[in-house]
Structure 1
């Protein structure tokens, strides 16, 4: 993957992990981020705060590919896959128990944050989200000919 594509994928993955839906303009390579509506309490305040980005996406809707924040079940699957590949059987067992009980996200993060595997988790999660972003962009890229410098031509 060339540097431009990698930067786009990395940036989108980081924004998704921060709770932002991303809109990738395949004609300009612009990324517009807007908080996921699932995190919004006051829709009027939200629309006012993000009016510029909302208008930009709406005005050029045909040029954007929307990539949404991972749903809870997708995040849970990421945690399960991370646990499966851990070499430390004792810690692996602790995390499996954390995921099997109430408040799995909170418990998983509690164990990870105090462990030697904290950075490994962040790296794993980033890599997995990047794969998802790359697949989405490849799957949804426009197939018609157009002028422009899109990284996903």
Structure 2
């Protein structure tokens, strides 16, 4: 598969984080994104029709970078919580992760944490980029065996 630039890897990470599905043309490195219809309550595929047709007609030229599983997202939140230098915030985040609705509770605390909100976004973005890089390495390893 064609190597991707850092900007392309970042784009994939950001699109996955927004709930999109990301496909890479193995020959050109072009990225195609479409709405993840399983996660969104819409049947309106018209805005995505051209991309969906391209992917359908050339499915063998594309590989999908799948989104993280929820347990992997949870691990990122737990890692962030454990590394927060404010003991009070760290304890609140860890407590939130151990309650019912951990994603919702964590988000609420982070959204109301002042400067730590941006630290969370930066941390999460970096971890998503690393995750995409790992997935690309896995795909490239599989391609070598074909």
The reply to whether TM is greater than 0.5 is yes
Residue number in structure 1 paired with 2:32? 32
Which of 15-24 and 101-110 deviates more? 101-110
Indicate conservation of the 8 Å contact 1:20/1:68, yes or no. no
Distance in structure 2 (CA, Å) of the matches to 1:15 and 1:110: 22
Equivalent residue in structure 2 for 1:84, among 82, 85, 101: 82
Secondary structure, counterpart of 2:38 in structure 1: helix
Secondary structure, counterpart of 1:40 in structure 2: coil
Q: Distance in 2 between matches of 1:61 and 1:17?
A: 23
Q: How many residues align?
A: 141
Once the two structures are superposed, residues 2-55 of structure 1 have per-residue CA deviations (whole angstroms, 9 ceiling, x without a partner) of: xx5201110000000100010011211111111223213344x23x33211111
* Partners of 1:63 and 1:131 in 2: CA distance: 24
Q: Which has the higher contact order (CA 8 A, sep 6+)?
A: 1
Cα distance in 2 between the residues matched to 1:92 and 1:11? 30
SS at match of 1:132: helix
**What is the RMSD computed on CA atoms of the aligned residues?**
2.0
User: Which residue does the alignment assign to 1:51?
Assistant: 49
Q: 2: distance between equivalents of 1:52 and 1:102?
A: 41
1:127 aligns with 126
Per the normalisation by structure 2, the TM-score is 0.87
TM-score calculated relative to the size of structure 1: 0.83
